[in-house]
Amino acid sequence: MAVRPQHKNRGAAALQFLASWALPLGILVLWEIASRSGVLSTRLLPAPSAVAAAFWESLRNGTLLTHAAISTERALKGLIIGGGIGFALGILAGISRLVETVFDSSMQMLRNVPHLAIIPLVILWFGIGEEAKIFLVAIGTAFPLYLNTFHGIRTIDVRLIEMARVYGLGRLALFWRVILPGALPSVLVGLRFSLGIMWLTLIVAETISASSGIGYMTMNAREFLQTDIVVLGIIVYALLGKLADTITRLIEARALAWHPAYRLNATREATS
Amino acid sequence: MSEPASDLRLRKRASLQQAGAGETQLNVVQELIHRKQEERPVNGHAVLLNGLSKSFGDRRVLSELDLEIPAGQLLAIVGRSGCGKSTLLRLIAGLDRPTSGKISVAGTDVESLQSNVRLLFQDARLLPWHRVLGNVGIARTKGWRETAAAALADVGLADRANDWPAVLSGGQAQRVALARALVSRPSVLLLDEPFGALDALTRMEMHRLLECIWREHGFTTVLITHDVAEAVALADRVIVLRDGGIALDMPIDLPRPRREAADTSAVALQARILDEV
C-alpha cells in the first residue's frame, strides 16, 4: 500500500473528511428532493426526513427501544448458547483427536446446510415462540465459532508447545498459557462471523413469526404501508450490527494487545 | 551465594574500567580471573552417554556414542548440518527417546523431560501473548515475579520486563530466552545454536554474557554450533561429530575470559577442528 504523505494542516484533513462524506450526503439530498417533488413515491421509498421523523416519534413513545431491546435479548441468548457450544466443541476437537474423529466430519457436513432451511422444522418443533428464534440463532452462530476455534488451536506453533513442555508446563498450564491465547485471534474472527450471522438469522426469524422485536415492527409497518418505519427498521439493524462489530474490535484491541496487527491505531498508522 | 555475586559485580566493574585501562588495572583483572577460575562454583551435574544410538527409519543419525561430560564443563559440539548434533541435544533434554543406549544426568537415567535440564532453542520461542517478565517466569512457580526479575537483570534486560516480545530485537529475545532458562537454576544448560541467527556484534555480546553467567552459576553446558570460532572462544572442550560418531575430542586450555579477536593459539585450534569437520 502506498504511503501517503502526512497532512500538513488541519484544513486539508477536514477537506478530506468532507470529501469522503460528499457522496452519501449528496445521495440523501437528491433522495429528499425526489421525494418532495413527487418523482419518488413515498409508498415505495419514504423521504429521509420522514424516516428521521419516524425515528424521533418511535423513540419518544418508547416502541423503538422496546423492540430493539427484545431483539437484542434474543440475539444474545442465541449467541451465548450456540456460540458457547461451538466454542467448547472447537476446543475439545482441537485438543483431542478422539473428539475430532467423532465430531469433526459431522460438523463439516452440517455447516454446509443453510440453517434457515430448517425453519419449517423449527416451527413444527417449537411453534412460533421465543425458543424457535433462539434455537435458529444458536444453530447459526455455533458453526463459525466451532470452525475458527478448532482451526486456531490446530495452527498454534508446535515449537511453542514443545518449549512449554521443556520448561515444565503441565496440561492445564499448557492450555491456559499457550493453547487458549494462541487460538484467541482465530476465535475472535469466528466471533465476528457469528455476530453477522446472528443478526441475519434474527431478522428472518422475526419477520416470519413474532409479536415483538425490530423484525416484527417492520413487517407490521409493511401491512400499513408505513415505509418510513420499514426503512427505520433496516437502519436500526445496521446500527446494531455495527455496534456488535465495534465491541468485538474493542475486545480484540484489548485481548490481542500483544499482537502487532491488532493494536489500536496500528492499522491507522500503517495505512495513513 | 552472596560471595560469587559480589565477585561478579567486581569483575563487571573491572571489565568496564578495562576499556580505558592502564596496565595496573589490567593486572587486577587478570588476577581476578585466575582467582575466579580456581573458585568457580560447580553447581552442574555430570552427563553420561552410554552406547547411544538414534535412528529415524532407516537413517542412523547417532551410532554407539559414548561421552562423559564432567559437572560444570562447557562443552561445544561442532559438526556439519545434519550430523546429528541437534538430535543429540534433544536426547539429553529428554524430548526424544534414543533407539538404544542410555543417558544419565547426575547418575539418574533420563527417561523423560528433566526439571534440572533446560534447553535454549535456535529461535527464542517466547510466547508473544505474555510480556517479557511473564515469559521468563513461565513456570509460574511461587514468587516467580522476583526470580524472573532477577534473571532478567542478570541478562541486562531489567528495564524491558513489561514489553511485549514482538518489540524485542533478535538478540534481546535470545537474552530473554536465556533468562527464562536460568530462572529455575538448571544444573545442565543445553544450547542449540542459539546465536546462529544473530549479527556478529550481538553474537559477541551474547558470548560474553553466556561465559559470564556460566562462570557465576557453574552449570554444565552443552553448546551446539557450526561456528568453530565460537566453539573455541567459549568451550572448555570441543567435540566434532561426524557420521554419527565422535571424530575429535579436544580440550581448549585458553585462559578466560577469552577475547573474540583470536590469538595464534586459538587459530591453531580452530584449524585442527576444521580439519576434522
**Whether the predicted pLDDT of A7 surpasses 60:** no
CA-based torsion, B63, B68, B71, B77: positive or negative: negative
**Whether the predicted pLDDT of A146 surpasses 90:** yes
Within a 10 A sphere around the Cβ of A234, how many other Cβ atoms?
14
**Whether the predicted pLDDT of B12 surpasses 80:** no
| Rounded CA separation A149/A171 (Å) | 19
In order, the DSSP letters of chain A are: -PPPPPPSSHHHHHHHHHHHHHHHHHHHHHHHHHHHHTSS-TTTS--HHHHHHHHHHHHHSSHHHHHHHHHHHHHHHHIIIIIHHHHHHHHHHHH-HHHHHHHHHHHHHHTTS-GGGGHHHHHHHHTTSHHHHHHHHHHHHHHHHHHHHHHHHHTS-HHHHHHHHHTT--HHHHIIIIIHHHHHHHHHHHHHHHHHHHHHHHHHHHHHS-SSSHHHHHHHHHHTT-HHHHHHHHHHHHHHHHHHHHHHHHHHHHHTTTSTTTSTTHHHHHH-
Q: What is the CA radius of gyration of chain B?
A: 19
Same domain, residue pair B209 and B85:
yes
With respect to residue B170, please indicate whether it lies within any of the assigned structural domains: yes
Please write the tens of the pLDDT for every residue from A82-134.
999 999 999 999 999 999 999 999 999 998 889 899 988 998 998 888 899 99
Residue B65 near residue B51 (C-beta atoms within 8 A): yes
With respect to residue B94, please indicate whether it lies within any of the assigned structural domains: yes
pLDDT at A272: 40
pLDDT at B141: 86
**Whether the predicted pLDDT of A4 surpasses 80:** no
CA distances to B76, B200, B207, B210, B265 from B233, in Å: 10, 14, 8, 11, 11
**Whether the predicted pLDDT of B4 surpasses 60:** no
pLDDT at B24: 52
- Residues of A with Cβ-Cβ distance to B165 under 8 angstroms: 258
Out of B131, B139, B164, the one facing A168 most closely (by C-beta) is: B139
Burial (CB count <10 Å: 0-12, 13-18, 19+), residue A263: middle
The interface predicted TM-score (ipTM) is 0.77
With respect to residue B30, please indicate whether it lies within any of the assigned structural domains: no
- Residues of A with Cβ-Cβ distance to B95 under 8 angstroms: 162, 165-166
Could you tell me what percent of chain A has a pLDDT over 90? 52
d(CA A192, nearest CA chain B) in Å: 21
Same domain, residue pair B200 and B179:
no
Read off the C-alpha cell for A80.
Answer: 451465548
Same domain, residue pair B216 and B245:
yes
- Interchain CB contact of B95 with A (< 8 Å): yes
Domains identified in chain A and CATH numbers: 58-271 (1.10.3720.10)
DSSP designation for B195: T
Please write the tens of the pLDDT for every residue from A215-257.
999 998 988 888 899 999 999 988 898 899 889 989 998 889 8
pLDDT at A266: 47
**A182: nearest CA partner in chain B:** B129
Q: 3-state DSSP call for residue B189?
A: strand
**Whether the predicted pLDDT of B263 surpasses 80:** no
**Whether the predicted pLDDT of A267 surpasses 60:** no
**Whether the predicted pLDDT of B68 surpasses 50:** yes
**Whether the predicted pLDDT of B33 surpasses 60:** no
Could you tell me what percent of chain B has a pLDDT over 70? 83
More confident residue, B42 or B109: B109
- Residues of A with Cβ-Cβ distance to B97 under 8 angstroms: none
Q: Which of A2-6, A41-45, B101-105, B209-213 has the lowest mean pLDDT?
A: A2-6
Number of cross-chain residue pairs from A and B with Cβ atoms under 8 Å apart = 54
Residue B163 near residue B148 (C-beta atoms within 8 A): no
Same domain, residue pair B78 and B50:
yes
pLDDT at B269: 84
| Rounded CA separation B191/B121 (Å) | 6
More confident residue, B208 or B22: B208
**Whether the predicted pLDDT of B147 surpasses 50:** yes
At residue A162, what is the residue type? E
Out of A160, A181, A258, the one facing B125 most closely (by C-beta) is: A160
Same domain, residue pair B244 and B260:
yes
**A160: nearest CA partner in chain B:** B125
Compute the 3-state secondary structure of chain B and give helix, strand, coil in percent, each to the nearest 5: 40, 20, 35
- Interchain CB contact of B125 with A (< 8 Å): yes
pLDDT at A148: 96
pLDDT range class, residue A8, cuts 50, 70, 90: low
Q: 3-state DSSP call for residue B230?
A: helix
Q: What is the mean pLDDT of chain A?
A: 88
pLDDT range class, residue B261, cuts 50, 70, 90: low
Q: What is the mean pLDDT of chain B?
A: 83
- Interchain CB contact of B164 with A (< 8 Å): yes
**Whether the predicted pLDDT of B129 surpasses 60:** yes
Same domain, residue pair B109 and B66:
yes
Same domain, residue pair B107 and B229:
yes
Instruction: Find residue B65's DSSP bridge partners.
Output: B52
- Residues of B with Cβ-Cβ distance to A185 under 8 angstroms: none
Domain count, chain B: 2
CB within 8 Å: B118 and A257: no
| Average pLDDT estimate for A43-69 | 91
Residue B195 near residue B174 (C-beta atoms within 8 A): yes
Read off the C-alpha cell for A242.
Answer: 455495527
Read off the C-alpha cell for A87.
Answer: 466454542
| Average pLDDT estimate for B177-204 | 90
pLDDT at A83: 96
A57: closest CA among A209, A241, A243, A229? A229
Query: Phi first, then psi: what are they for B189, rounded to 5°?
Result: -115, 125
CB within 8 Å: A168 and B184: yes
Contacts of A166 (CB under 8 A, 6+ apart): B93, B95, B113, B118, B119
Q: Which of A45-54, B34-43, B117-126 has the lowest mean pLDDT?
A: B34-43
pLDDT at B107: 82
Within a 10 A sphere around the Cβ of B112, how many other Cβ atoms?
8
| Rounded CA separation A86/A151 (Å) | 12
Same domain, residue pair B145 and B241:
no
pLDDT at A1: 42
Instruction: Find residue B118's DSSP bridge partners.
Output: B189
CATH of the domain at B52: 3.40.50.300
Please write the tens of the pLDDT for every residue from B15-28.
444 444 444 555 55
Q: 3-state DSSP call for residue B104?
A: strand
**E strands, B8-116, where?**
47-56, 59-69, 74-78, 100-105, 108-109
Same domain, residue pair B103 and B211:
yes
| Average pLDDT estimate for B156-174 | 92
**Whether the predicted pLDDT of B1 surpasses 60:** no
Same domain, residue pair B92 and B216:
yes
Same domain, residue pair B153 and B48:
no
**Whether the predicted pLDDT of B118 surpasses 70:** yes
Q: Kind and range of the H or E element at B15?
A: helix B2-18
Q: Name residue, grid cell 427501544.
A: A65
Structural domain containing residue B137: 127-185
d(CA B118, nearest CA chain A) in Å: 7
Same domain, residue pair B175 and B272:
no
Burial (CB count <10 Å: 0-12, 13-18, 19+), residue A14: exposed
CA distances to A81, A100, A103, A181, B123 from A93, in Å: 18, 4, 7, 17, 29
- Interchain CB contact of B121 with A (< 8 Å): yes
